[in-house]
């Protein structure tokens, strides 16, 4: 129905939500009521394919009849191809600069470091590379669809889903900051069906991947070996620090900021894993797997994965499948579910809720035994007594030397105090 003075005088905001009422006489003309009670006439329209808004004035200082006259005049300008805002110029927001601001503010405050870096990578590779100098408000739904469709055509449905999620989050942030009226991703659906993976590698595939990793060598090959032996997550292995290795207790402590669930996690280091860690070159004072860019961990996973797939001849697998394989195969070895969950640092299932809180630091020896069982199995598959790329069998004295080669860190007692 048409707006009336009686209606506008009695209109109030509902709690903290902004209220909008629209006039049936003039398309896009309406009144917005803020939670604070301010009433503002606006005109919403599209110009050159993008949504725009012109603020006409506040009610009742600006009468309803005058606001209608201004709205009709603005629509007349629009029909002649003129932006009704005329000489009024909004603040420009370059897309590349705004993305940097989004990463520095929102992502830094709300995301883990690995998530922040991945979001930044997606936005810059997929979108900034195309729209760097354009204004944020000039990006249309058609522009976004073009990028997403290209990813799908390249056979990267998962990457297309991740790209849409990242750009949608970015534009939501822009709307919250007042840079946009609406999110151009509105009503866009994920382009590819999300597939829940259940790939578990068999012994032949594990052996092939292991030998390919040995051939590739440090750093990616070594990361793959540790993923296969420990069952930990990719980023947790890639960001390993020397200071988190305890030679006294043969323990790797994953700090809360590096784990996916934000909880400190202790992984026992059994001899086969120690062999590999002890032979990692000390190229960085902090990281076991540093990137070429100072202060950053290894990140060339796509290139390494392609090489691994080529050398192993194993089809359609991901690095995360190694983690699932460890869990599934240990269950096949009759390892109790709560021991597997403790190894994987899961906070659901058997160790979810209160049980997880009170049992957080239990079962370490049971986890160590489960890992030793798994490492022995992979040893058998690799055809070597030692899981390194050296074929010689390690004597007890040699193995003791390998443990001693780990950087001297706080004793196991001090690590225990950190965990508690």
163/61 same-domain check: no
CATH number at residue 296: 1.10.443.10
Same domain, residue pair 275 and 219: yes
Q: Mean pLDDT lowest for which of 87-91, 204-208, 246-250?
A: 87-91
Q: 132-187 pLDDT, tens per residue?
A: 989 998 899 999 999 999 888 877 788 889 999 999 999 999 988 888 888 999 88
Indicate the pLDDT class of residue 241, thresholds 50, 70 and 90: very high
> Where does the pLDDT of residue 399 fall: very low under 50, low under 70, confident under 90, or very high at 90 and above?
very low
Half-sphere exposure of 302 (CA within 13 A, CB side): 2
3-state helix, strand, coil in the chain (%, to 5): 50, 10, 40
Helix (H, G, I), strand (E, B) or coil at 271: helix
Shared domain for 348 and 291, answered yes or no, is: yes
Question: What pLDDT, on the 0 to 100 scale, is given for residue 165?
Answer: 94
Residue 182 resides in a domain: no
Query: Are 101 and 155 in the same domain?
Result: yes
pLDDT of 205 above 70: yes
Please, are residues 85 and 54 in contact by the beta-carbon 8 Å criterion?
yes
How many angstroms separate the CA atoms of 153 and 159, rounded? 11
Flag whether 265 is in a domain. Answer: yes
Confidence band, pLDDT 50/70/90 cuts, at residue 363: confident
Euclidean distance between CA atoms 289 and 308, whole angstroms:
18
The whole-number pLDDT of residue 234 equals 93
Task: State yes or no: pLDDT of 404 exceeds 70.
Answer: no
Asked if 405 and 397 touch (Cβ cutoff 8 Å), the reply is no
| pLDDT of residue 353 exceeding 80 | no
Residue 361: what pLDDT?
52
Same domain, 21 and 109: no
Look at the chain and report how many structural domains it folds into: 3
Which is more confident, 181 or 392? 181
* pLDDT at position 415 over 60: no
pLDDT given at position 419: 35
Residue 221 placed within a domain: yes
With 50 as the cut, is the pLDDT of residue 412 above it?
Answer: no
Domain assignment present for residue 190? The answer is: no
Residue 123 belongs to what domain range?
A: 95-176
The pLDDT of residue 348 is: 55
User: Is 297 in the same domain as 164?
Assistant: no
pLDDT in tens, 60-114: 889 999 999 999 999 998 888 888 876 555 567 899 999 999 999 999 888 877 7
Which CATH number characterizes residue 161's domain?
A: 1.10.150
Whether residues 338 and 228 fall in one domain: yes
Among 49, 79, 109, the domain-final residue is 79
| Same domain (yes/no): 17, 157 | no
- Percent of the chain's residues with pLDDT above 90: 52
pLDDT of residue 297: 92
What average pLDDT does range 11-15 have in this prediction? 76
Q: Is the pLDDT of residue 290 over 90?
A: yes
Neighbouring C-beta atoms of residue 192, cutoff 10 Å:
16
Average pLDDT in the 265-283 region? 92
* Averaged pLDDT of the chain: 84
Q: Please report whether residue 295 resides in a domain.
A: yes
pLDDT at 245 over 70: yes
pLDDT tens for 299-348 read 899 899 999 999 999 988 999 999 999 999 999 999 999 899 999 988 65
Q: Global pTM?
A: 0.58
Give the pLDDT score at 156. Answer: 76
For the chain, give the percent of residues with pLDDT over 70: 84
Q: Which residues contact 91 (CB under 8 A, 6 or more apart)?
A: none
Residue 233 has pLDDT above 90, yes or no: yes
**Mean pLDDT across the stretch 221-243?**
95
| Least confidently predicted of 23-27, 202-206, 232-236, 388-392 | 388-392
Residue 191 predicted with pLDDT over 50: yes
- Nearest CA to 234 among 251, 254, 210, 250? 254
Distances (CA, A) of 145 to 148, 169, 235, 271: 5, 15, 30, 51
Q: What is the pLDDT of residue 178?
A: 84
pLDDT of residue 87: 57
Is residue 88 included in any domain, yes or no? no
pLDDT surpassing 70 at residue 396 = no
pLDDT at res. 209: 96
Q: What is the three-class DSSP state of 55?
A: strand
36 and 119 co-located in one domain: no
Residue that the structure tokens 């006294």 belong to = 248
pLDDT at position 196 is 61
């Amino acid at each position: 129905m048409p707006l009336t003075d009686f209606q506008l005088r009695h209109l109030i905001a509902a709690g903290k939500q902004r209220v909008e009422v629209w006039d049936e006489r003039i398309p896009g003309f309406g009144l917005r009521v803020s939670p604070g009670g301010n009433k503002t006439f606006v005109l919403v329209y599209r110009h050159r394919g993008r949504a725009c808004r012109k603020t006409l004035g506040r009610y009742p200082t600006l009468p309803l009849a005058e606001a209608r006259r201004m709205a009709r005049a603005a629509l007349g300008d629009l029909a002649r191809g003129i932006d009704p805002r005329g000489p009024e110029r909004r603040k420009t927001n370059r897309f590349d600069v705004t993305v940097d601001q989004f990463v520095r503010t929102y992502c830094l405050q709300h995301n883990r470091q690995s998530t922040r870096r991945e979001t930044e990578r997606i936005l810059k590779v997929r979108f900034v590379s195309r729209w760097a100098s354009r204004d944020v408000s000039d990006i249309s739904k058609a522009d976004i669809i073009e990028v997403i469709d290209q990813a799908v055509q390249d056979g990267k449905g998962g990457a297309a889903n991740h790209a849409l999620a990242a750009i949608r989050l970015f534009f939501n942030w822009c709307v919250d900051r007042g840079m946009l009226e609406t999110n151009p991703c509105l009503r866009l659906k994920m382009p590819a069906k999300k597939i829940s993976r259940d790939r578990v590698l068999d012994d032949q595939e594990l052996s092939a991947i292991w030998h390919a990793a040995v051939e590739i060598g440090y750093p990616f090959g070594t990361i793959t070996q540790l993923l296969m032996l420990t069952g930990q997550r990719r980023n947790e292995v890639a960001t390993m620090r020397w200071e988190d290795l305890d030679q006294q207790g043969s323990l790797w402590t994953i700090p809360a900021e590096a784990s996916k669930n934000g909880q400190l996690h202790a992984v026992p280091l059994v001899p086969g894993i120690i062999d590999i860690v002890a032979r990692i070159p000390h190229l960085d004072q902090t990281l076991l797997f540093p990137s070429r860019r100072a202060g950053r961990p290894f990140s060339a996973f796509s290139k390494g994965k392609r090489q691994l797939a080529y050398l192993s001849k194993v089809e359609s697998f991901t690095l995360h499948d190694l983690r699932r394989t460890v869990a599934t195969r240990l269950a096949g070895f009759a390892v109790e579910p709560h021991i597997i969950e403790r190894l994987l640092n899961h906070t659901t299932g058997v160790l979810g809720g209160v049980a997880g809180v009170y049992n957080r630091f239990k079962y370490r020896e049971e986890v160590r035994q489960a890992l030793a069982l798994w490492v022995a199995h992979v040893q058998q598959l690799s055809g070597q007594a030692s899981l390194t790329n050296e074929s010689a069998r390690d004597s007890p004295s040699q193995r003791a030397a390998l443990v001693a080669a780990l950087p001297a860190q706080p004793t196991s007692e001090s690590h225990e105090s950190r965990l508690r």
